């Protein structure tokens, strides 16, 4: 019996897993839970900030395999009063572990807040994860204080900061005081923050220009229409910048209103770069709502931004996200094809070099080159360049990698199976202390901590070591770690690990019983829950197929099932309800797997709206899904299904076949949609 089968999270309170002992639990299970109860009690004490209980737990857990975690919670709970020698003692006691590095992250943040730069500079080089932006900002500040030129790195870190934090704000204020950041930097940060709906960060950035500017940002963020009507001005300097921020904020709520304001007054009054940015922001918001005005508004923005096309510096640069939505709007454009692809190419050329390398944009650049290619030598050169672009991603195992491969005439080919793991390789993974702790944490219900411990332990492993770790997780039926670990390999790919098929007999039988493609079901489950039976989302979806309680009740009623709420946790019931609902959704959307996947994730009402407009190839439609989570979800579910189809031994199905025909408005002759679908 595995630990996973012994310990099962039965209830959750305030985001932390709480294990409930049932009277009917077998004696071995009760003994096992009792053995680890001190850790669970310590975690609960940490949540409650119960210092006395944490100290007692630390004493009781000294010989426990998870003693490092109990000590970490106890020390973290009083980190504000901790001294350097206590921290060093902890480091020495748990060297090389996740909690050592996690505490180092926490301690570096504390040292930054204390302005203890000497101890920060001494500790920072030993920080291995180095994935905390605030810590990075503190580190850049220490480099600046030591006389190094950090302007470019600091500017990039500050711009990337989404929420207002002490480290990046202190870095920015220090560099402003030193004259290394200037008002133009502050306005660009404020624009990015307004676009990201982060008014506090925008206000802080404007505060570096003047207190009055910060106050104005407060006002325009609260009510942009009122600010534009009563206080806005196009005078040079801060006034024009603030008016632009107000227009951007207004566009976020009402793109049509922002466009009207621009047409009637502000386009002519504002400096061209700022007017262009305001138009681009309105266009982006229109594009996210699939409005046909998006393309002409982007075109108007570019007409004002023509100096940038001549190679001059843009004083009000557009974000990569704004440019990405221009690509998406262009893909929906039902005008001349040449104009459509020119818009795509225009936006891609303006993206940052890093963003241009994303497979999504590599693929659509290739398509744009093909669409713009003429006859003759110039056209041949464009088509050859498009082929080079497609070839650069065609071997990659994602949505656009598959599309690129199919565009080049390729078919689905499973990678060769790696050589079997040796006993020594398996044994090394099994005896790795980090994996042992991670699996134990997951087994007793502390999944969040276990996942973090597991992922830290993966750092620096080669392909064979990753395969062995993945197999350890597979053998323990910890499917999310199995999949995510195997996904990290590069040269050696084990498809059975990356695309496992737990409960195969039940899934295939259920699929056949209701007329669903089992590969499609597996593709969806892999994305929904990673086959974790006790998975629960932050909105309340549960189980293998992540069903919402209301959806479960509705589907059970449709099936005539005598349903009780706790039945959603039963694997077979969860599978039956989830697949039945998926089939109802699929039928409601005329058999389109892309539309049905979107409906399963975002509810059926939204895809009904998203399918309105011009007929689109399914890939362009999927790329235009307004919700980033659903957009990513649909692409991954369909991509997963292609591999599951091959692994299940069925006839090879291409991704384009899986995506189906063009997507557009429902045929008027088709049966009316089921308005009851939850």
pLDDT tens per residue, range 118-171: 999 999 999 999 899 999 999 999 999 999 999 999 999 999 998 899 999 999
Q: Is residue 7 pLDDT above 70, yes or no?
A: no
Inside any domain, residue 160? no
**CATH code for position 461:** 1.10.1240.20
User: Quick one: the chain helix, strand, coil %, rounded to 5?
Assistant: 65, 0, 30
Together in a domain, 558 and 486: no
Together in a domain, 281 and 324: yes
**CATH code for position 544:** 1.10.530.10
Together in a domain, 515 and 654: yes
pLDDT confidence of residue 16 = 29
Together in a domain, 223 and 280: yes
304 CB contacts (<8 Å, ≥6 apart)? 267, 272, 273, 275, 276, 279
Together in a domain, 580 and 469: no
Question: Which of 310, 337, 364 is the last residue in one of the domains?
Answer: 337
Q: What is the pTM of this model?
A: 0.92
Query: Residue range 382-409: average pLDDT?
Result: 97
Inside any domain, residue 229? yes
Looking at the chain, the whole-number percentage of residues with pLDDT higher than 90 is 87
Q: Is residue 23 pLDDT above 70, yes or no?
A: no
Inside any domain, residue 195? no
Together in a domain, 557 and 439: no
Together in a domain, 526 and 481: no
Inside any domain, residue 71? no
Together in a domain, 457 and 560: no
Together in a domain, 448 and 511: no
Together in a domain, 509 and 654: yes
Inside any domain, residue 654? yes
Q: Is residue 3 pLDDT above 70, yes or no?
A: no
Its domain, for residue 259, covers 204-337
Question: Which of 498, 520, 548 is the last residue in one of the domains?
Answer: 498
Cα angle value 371/374/379 (rounded, 5°): 95
Residues 548 and 541: beta-carbon distance below 8 Å: yes
Question: Which of 281, 311, 337 is the last residue in one of the domains?
Answer: 337
DSSP bridge pairs for 16: 13
Together in a domain, 450 and 581: no
What total number of domains does the chain contain? 3
State which H helix or E strand residue 18 sits in: strand 16-18
Together in a domain, 622 and 516: yes
What pLDDT band is residue 237 in, cutting at 50, 70 and 90? confident
Inside any domain, residue 215? yes
What pLDDT band is residue 308 in, cutting at 50, 70 and 90? low
Could you give the dihedral angle defined by the CA atoms of residues 602, 604, 610 and 612, in that order, rounded to the nearest 10 degrees?
A: 180
Inside any domain, residue 294? yes
Query: Residue range 265-273: average pLDDT?
Result: 96
Inside any domain, residue 311? yes
């Amino acid at each position: 019996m595995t630990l996973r089968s012994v310990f099962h999270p039965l209830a959750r309170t305030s985001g932390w897993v709480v294990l409930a002992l049932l009277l009917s639990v077998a004696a071995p299970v009760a003994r096992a839970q009792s053995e680890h109860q001190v850790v669970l009690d310590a975690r609960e004490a940490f949540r409650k900030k119960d210092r006395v209980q944490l100290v007692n737990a630390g004493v009781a857990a000294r010989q426990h395999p998870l003693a490092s975690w109990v000590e970490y919670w106890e020390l973290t709970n009083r980190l504000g009063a901790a001294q350097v020698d206590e921290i060093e003692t902890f480091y020495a006691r748990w060297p090389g572990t996740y909690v050592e590095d996690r505490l180092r992250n926490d301690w570096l943040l504390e040292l930054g807040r204390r302005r203890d730069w000497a101890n920060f500079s001494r500790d920072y080089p030993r920080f291995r994860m180095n994935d905390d932006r605030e810590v990075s900002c503190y580190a850049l500040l220490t480099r600046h204080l030591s006389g190094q030129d950090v302007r470019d790195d600091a500017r990039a870190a500050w711009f990337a900061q989404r929420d207002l934090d002490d480290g990046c704000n202190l870095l920015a204020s220090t560099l402003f005081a030193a004259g290394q950041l200037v008002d133009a930097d502050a306005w660009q940060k404020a624009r990015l923050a307004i676009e990201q709906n982060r008014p506090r960060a925008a206000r802080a950035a404007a505060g570096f220009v003047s207190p009055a500017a910060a106050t104005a940002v407060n006002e325009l963020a609260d009510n942009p229409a009122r600010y534009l009507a009563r206080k806005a001005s196009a005078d040079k300097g801060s006034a024009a910048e603030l008016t632009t921020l107000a227009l951007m904020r207004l566009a976020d709520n009402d793109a049509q209103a922002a466009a009207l304001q621009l047409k009637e007054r502000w386009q002519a009054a504002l400096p061209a770069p700022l007017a262009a940015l305001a138009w681009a922001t309105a266009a982006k918001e229109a594009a996210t709502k699939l409005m046909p005005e998006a393309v002409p508004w982007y075109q108007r923005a570019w007409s004002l931004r023509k100096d940038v096309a001549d190679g001059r510096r843009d004083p009000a640069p557009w974000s990569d996200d704004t440019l990405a939505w221009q690509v998406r709007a262009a893909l929906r454009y039902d005008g001349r094809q040449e104009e459509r692809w020119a818009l795509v190419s225009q936006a891609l050329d303006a993206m940052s070099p890093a963003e241009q390398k994303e497979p999504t944009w590599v693929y659509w650049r290739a398509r744009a080159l093909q669409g713009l290619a003429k006859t003759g030598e110039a056209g041949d050169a464009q088509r050859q360049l498009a082929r080079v672009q497609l070839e650069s991603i065609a071997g990659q195992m994602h949505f656009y990698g598959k599309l690129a491969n199919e565009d080049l005439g390729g078919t689905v080919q499973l990678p060769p199976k790696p050589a079997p793991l040796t006993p020594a390789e398996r044994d090394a993974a099994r005896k790795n202390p980090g994996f042992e702790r991670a699996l134990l944490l997951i087994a007793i219900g502390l999944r969040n901590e276990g996942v973090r411990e597991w992922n830290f332990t993966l750092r620096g492993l080669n392909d064979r070591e990753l395969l062995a770790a993945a197999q350890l997780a597979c053998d323990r039926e910890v499917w999310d770690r199995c999949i995510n670990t195997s996904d990290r390999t590069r040269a050696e790919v084990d498809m059975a690990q990356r695309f496992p098929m737990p409960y195969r007999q039940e899934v295939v039988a259920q699929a056949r019983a209701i007329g669903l493609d089992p590969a499609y079901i597996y593709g969806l489950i892999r994305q929904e829950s990673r086959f974790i039976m006790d998975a629960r989302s932050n909105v309340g979806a549960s189980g293998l197929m992540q069903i919402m309680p209301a959806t479960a009740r509705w589907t059970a009623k449709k099936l005539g099932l005598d349903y009780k709420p706790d039945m959603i946790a039963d694997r077979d019931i969860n599978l039956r309800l989830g697949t039945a609902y998926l089939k109802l959704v699929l039928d409601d959307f005329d058999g389109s797997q892309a539309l049905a996947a979107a409906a399963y994730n975002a509810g059926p009402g939204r895809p009904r709206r998203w399918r309105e407009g011009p007929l689109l190839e399914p890939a362009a439609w999927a790329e235009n899904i307004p919700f980033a989570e659903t957009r990513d979800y649909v692409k991954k579910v369909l991509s997963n299904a292609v591999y599951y189809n091959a692994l299940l031994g069925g006839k090879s199905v291409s991704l384009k076949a899986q995506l189906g025909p063009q997507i557009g408005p429902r045929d008027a002759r088709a049966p009316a949609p089921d308005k009851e679908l939850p």
